[in-house]
A and B are shown apart, each in its own frame.
Chain A
Amino acid sequence: MDDDAEIIAEFLVESHENLDQLDRDLVELEREPGSRERLSSIFRTIHTIKGTSGFLAFNRLEQLTHVGETLLSRLRDGEVVMTPPIAEGLLAMVDTVRALLDGIERTGRDTDPAVAVDPVVAVIDGLLAPASEPASEPAPEPVPEPAPEPAPEEPGERRTVVESSVRVDVDLLDDLVDLVGELVLTRNQLLQRSLGSADAELVRASQRLDLVASELQESIMKTRMQPIGQVWSKLPRVVRDLSHQLGREVELVMEGHETELDRSLLEAVKDPLTHLVRNSLDHGIEPPDVRRAAGKAAKGTLTLRAYHESGQVVVEIADDGKGIDPATIGAVAVERGVVTRDQLARMDGRDVLGLIFRPGFSTAAAVSNISGRGVGMDVVRTNIERIGGSVDVASEPGLGTTTRVRIPLTLAIIPALVVGEGGERYAIAQANLVELVRIEGDDLRRQVEDLAGARVLRLRGTLLPLVSLAETLGGTPPGDEALTVVVLQSDDVRFGLCVSEVHDTQEIVVKPIGRQLKAVSAYAGATIMGDGRVALILDVAGIAGTAGVGAVQQEVADPRALGADDRTALLVLEVADGRRAALPLTAVARLEEFGRDRVERSGTSEVVQYRDGILPLVRLASAIGLPDTSDQGDRISVVVHETGDAAGAVGIVIDRVLDVVEVAVTASEVGRRAGVTGSAVVQERVTDLVDLEAVVLRSGVPA
């Protein structure tokens, strides 16, 4: 259904309702001809239809309602007195309007020749002409029969627009959502009870209930869904006006405007989306001459794309403009004090782009009235995160910028992680969840450190501040033999929340909590668990604030970030007693450990028997010109690399595996030598990039 058809459908539904009201009003009016209230109501109805039909270019309808409106306004103002002929004329007009609307519904046009408009117009004109003595002239002709019964084409088959949709009060829908939330909770309780039950009938019935409740929930949620096109509909105008104002030529492409999301969210994303579109025009797409000079088409393209992905709605705003130069962003960020030069030096390109979302950042060199009024991208991000969404930006200098906004489908029911502390359960919205880490034994001493009372975790080369949930809740943290860390992210803040237990993830219904608890920043709300008990929902931002975790501590590349095309997954290894080397993860088939006694010799090579074959071994340290220390334990660590051809596999012997990381590698020639293509900074440490081909060659197996 295109936009016009949608507008027409809405117009039809509205008009049919209005006409029903109109019929009642007209009949009433005959009984009490003086009622100004009735006349005003009729006048308004006809006026509305006239206005919309003019807008939609239904000229005959407009002409008809125009004369009707004139007559009605005179009646309303008391210039004309209601008489039976006038009532006849008005009723005839209403019937004809109805016939025209039926025609529009069938054909999309008001040109149905079967509906005679002119005679009715003539009658009403006649009624209007002798305004002084309206009753003197009787209706000149019998009122024409409007719209002979429509030809009996496909009778009763097609539901008309009016029949296939119902207008429902939004409050009623909200009530339904509440009730279905309740039902889901009750179902959860019942399911939990019936699980241990020996009553097969009960188990079956509760499973049925489970199914039906889920479907019901889905359907109810759908009633609140509206297409994102509703928000987008204003954008063509915004783009047109702005491109004129800025002297840009822009083609707006919109894809997936039927993608639906909850109406409350729709409202919330309107402003951020408009802002992003304005940004693309102002900072992204260049003026035509600049574009031509850069070898691009003079007309820029702004693409809006919406789609569903893993329970979320993704909205992309992509332009083919000049892109964002990380160097410029970095310089501006340092100049405005958003980051220090030091911090900037340690960021990769992606993190630098992320700086535009920091408060106090605005790239517009001069403050224009389109964007860069201080309400910058940080506001966009805050607004989107408030509804549980996220926003990130990817850019190719010279080629364009893509901003991706991810929004949850609905707010009322959210997926959450349930954790335990002090015998109680607490829910954490999964939108805030980054990962779960468990640290025990030696790792605990090595990775968790105490910095003047503040505990931090070394997590893949960055320091993550730790907050104890028990302490946040006013208790004492449990013993120190193991640590379960829930890594959380809110706004710019990332921290680890130490919890006693991790239960499971489940869908929870968010319920408000009373005014007595508003002052406690640790809670965002409450929910009811499957056993009927209440559990509090933790407010991640509130906890971060209370614990004093600041935004500056977050410099980690977001592992969930999109557009990871320029990133490579690397296996980071330790060789030669503390030196770091990295292999592309794609080259790794398996990681194995062998007892040292299993290493045998074949000629000059070391081999192990492996999977009914012989696996030649290469000591990586020796292969890249470092002293070999891989033999220090009873066992050796081996990376199995499968070579492309039938020759099979090679085992690369290393000291140990450190990590798997996904980074944008900026390789440097530094350290280039036999077996090493160069080096790169991975997790802030200089790391040798292994020349796999050269290393494999040493084993005698063709790479």
Chain B
Amino acid sequence: MRPVSHAGTTTATRTAEQYCTFWVAGLFFGVAVDEVQEVLRRQPMTPVPRADRAVTGLINLRGQIVTAVDLRVRLGLPDRSGAELPMNVIVRSRGEVVSLLVDDIGDVIDAAGVDLQPAPTTVPRGVQDVVRGVRPLPDSILLVLDADRAADVAPTPDNPGGTP
């Protein structure tokens, strides 16, 4: 278990620039730290037959039942090979707690000073739909994930453009 700590000195403007980062199928994603509750290793999971394919199962998170959504499936990316164990990024979304299954966890990074830009139109549609934009960092390009839309398994119509 690796809870994300919020440094007490961090100001509100700065947390908005901080991202909890992770990799999904080689893409480098980030979710604003204040949307992330915690990060967990693989958890025992109960499958949910007949649910959307992106719903991998249900996790018991200290008595709360949390739906796990596989970001690879949700984003239309190739499936993870059986040997790779996903990590859980637990996010708060629309009043619920949802687990996003990712390949690997990165650091919490500060993207202050790098502006958010619209995602390039060549990025696959499935990814564009749940990304707020990109922040081109010196050594990588961070895709800023909209956790609410990522946790909605069916695409929501409220922001069809996928860019802010």
Question: A interface vs B, CB < 8 Å?
Answer: 181-182, 185-186, 422, 424, 472-475, 511-517, 519-520, 522-523, 526, 528, 532-536
Q: List 9 A-B contacts (CB under 8 A).
A: A514-B66, A514-B96, A516-B52, A516-B67, A519-B52, A528-B60, A534-B45, A535-B46, A536-B46
Given A424-B46, A515-B96, A516-B153, 13 more pairs with CB closer than 8 A: A182-B62, A422-B49, A472-B50, A474-B49, A512-B65, A513-B65, A516-B52, A516-B151, A526-B65, A532-B60, A534-B57, A534-B58, A535-B46
Complex CA distance for A182 and B62, rounded to whole angstroms: 8
Shortest CB distance B10–A (Å): 30
Known contacts A513-B67, A514-B67: A522-B50 contact under CB 8 Å: yes
Complex CA distance for A519 and B94, rounded to whole angstroms: 17
Complex contacts, B153 vs chain A, CB 8 Å: 516
Question: B interface vs A, CB < 8 Å?
Answer: 44-52, 54-55, 57-60, 62-67, 69, 94, 96, 98, 151-154
Name the residue among B59, B60, B153 with the largest chain A CB count within 10 angstroms. B60
A182 adjacent to B96 (CB under 8 Å): no
B96 adjacent to A534 (CB under 8 Å): no
Complex CA distance for A695 and B109, rounded to whole angstroms: 93
Shortest CB distance A455–B (Å): 20
A513 adjacent to B58 (CB under 8 Å): yes
The 8 Å CB contact of A517, one of B45, B55, B59, B63, is B55
Complex contacts, B69 vs chain A, CB 8 Å: 516
Complex CA distance for A519 and B153, rounded to whole angstroms: 11
A515 adjacent to B49 (CB under 8 Å): no
Name the residue among B58, B98, B153 with the largest chain A CB count within 10 angstroms. B58
Shortest CB distance B1–A (Å): 15
Complex CA distance for A535 and B124, rounded to whole angstroms: 36
Complex CA distance for A612 and B153, rounded to whole angstroms: 74
The 8 Å CB contact of A520, one of B44, B46, B51, B96, is B51
Complex contacts, A520 vs chain B, CB 8 Å: 48, 50-51
Known contacts A533-B60, A536-B58: A514-B98 contact under CB 8 Å: yes
Complex CA distance for A113 and B151, rounded to whole angstroms: 71
A517 adjacent to B49 (CB under 8 Å): no
Complex contacts, B154 vs chain A, CB 8 Å: 519
Complex CA distance for A515 and B51, rounded to whole angstroms: 11
A517 adjacent to B51 (CB under 8 Å): yes
Complex CA distance for A442 and B51, rounded to whole angstroms: 37
Complex CA distance for A519 and B96, rounded to whole angstroms: 16
Complex CA distance for A523 and B57, rounded to whole angstroms: 13
Complex CA distance for A532 and B96, rounded to whole angstroms: 20
Complex contacts, A475 vs chain B, CB 8 Å: 49
Known contacts A513-B67, A516-B67, A532-B60: A473-B49 contact under CB 8 Å: yes
Shortest CB distance A526–B (Å): 5
Complex contacts, A513 vs chain B, CB 8 Å: 58, 65, 67
Complex CA distance for A292 and B123, rounded to whole angstroms: 86
Complex CA distance for A512 and B58, rounded to whole angstroms: 11
A523 adjacent to B65 (CB under 8 Å): no
A517 adjacent to B67 (CB under 8 Å): yes
A517 adjacent to B46 (CB under 8 Å): no
Complex contacts, B47 vs chain A, CB 8 Å: 424
A526 adjacent to B49 (CB under 8 Å): no
B65 adjacent to A534 (CB under 8 Å): yes
A534 adjacent to B50 (CB under 8 Å): no
Complex contacts, A186 vs chain B, CB 8 Å: 63
The 8 closest A-B pairs by CB, nearest first: A473-B49, A514-B67, A534-B46, A534-B58, A182-B63, A516-B153, A526-B65, A511-B65
Complex contacts, B152 vs chain A, CB 8 Å: 515-516
Complex CA distance for A185 and B49, rounded to whole angstroms: 24
Shortest CB distance B36–A (Å): 17
Complex contacts, B46 vs chain A, CB 8 Å: 424, 526, 533-536
Complex CA distance for A181 and B65, rounded to whole angstroms: 13
Complex CA distance for A536 and B51, rounded to whole angstroms: 12
Complex contacts, B151 vs chain A, CB 8 Å: 516
Shortest CB distance A419–B (Å): 14
Nearest A residue to B49 via CB reads A473
Complex contacts, B60 vs chain A, CB 8 Å: 528, 532-534
Nearest B residue to A423 via CB reads B47
Nearest B residue to A469 via CB reads B49
Shortest CB distance B151–A (Å): 7
A528 adjacent to B66 (CB under 8 Å): no
Complex CA distance for A456 and B59, rounded to whole angstroms: 37
Shortest CB distance A665–B (Å): 46
The 8 Å CB contact of B48, one of A472, A511, A523, is A523
Shortest CB distance A231–B (Å): 32
Shortest CB distance B71–A (Å): 13
The 8 Å CB contact of B44, one of A474, A512, A533, is A533
A185 adjacent to B67 (CB under 8 Å): no
Nearest A residue to B97 via CB reads A514
Shortest CB distance A181–B (Å): 8
Nearest A residue to B54 via CB reads A516
Shortest CB distance A479–B (Å): 20
Nearest A residue to B55 via CB reads A516
Known contacts A516-B69, A516-B152: A532-B48 contact under CB 8 Å: no
Complex CA distance for A516 and B67, rounded to whole angstroms: 8
Complex CA distance for A181 and B63, rounded to whole angstroms: 9
Nearest B residue to A421 via CB reads B49
B49 adjacent to A516 (CB under 8 Å): no
Complex CA distance for A422 and B44, rounded to whole angstroms: 16
Name the residue among A422, A513, A516, A519 with the largest chain B CB count within 10 angstroms. A516
Complex CA distance for A422 and B63, rounded to whole angstroms: 24
Complex CA distance for A377 and B14, rounded to whole angstroms: 61
